Amino acid sequence: MPTEEFEERQASINRKVMRYFGLFMAVAYVLLGVVITRIPEGAWALSNSQKISLGLVFVLYGLYRLFKTYRQYFRRKV
């Protein structure tokens, strides 16, 4: 049936979009964490230890999202 083929093709496209969006967001969080830790002293109203802590939180969250995205979309089905 044409409708079932269309729906399956649409679902496949949606999975691909979500796969790469998940990867993009994971990398974006990691990069944001690195950028936050590299901001010069005095540019924000945060101390150096606060910037490092906040950057570390973003990096760890980005790695967590990367792991979850890999497990959900890229792991081989056995």
Both tokens assigned to 66: 């990367």
Handedness of CA 58, 29, 25, 71 (dihedral sign): negative
Q: What is the pLDDT of residues 5-64, one digit of tens each?
A: 877 888 788 888 888 999 999 999 999 999 999 998 888 888 999 999 999 999 999 999
The whole-number pLDDT of residue 3 equals 80
Which band of pLDDT confidence, cut at 50, 70 and 90, is reported for residue 77? low
Give every CB contact of residue 61 below 8 A, 6+ residues apart in sequence: 29, 33
The whole-number pLDDT of residue 2 equals 73
What are the angstrom distances between the C-alpha of 4 and each of 8, 9, 10, 16?
6, 9, 10, 18
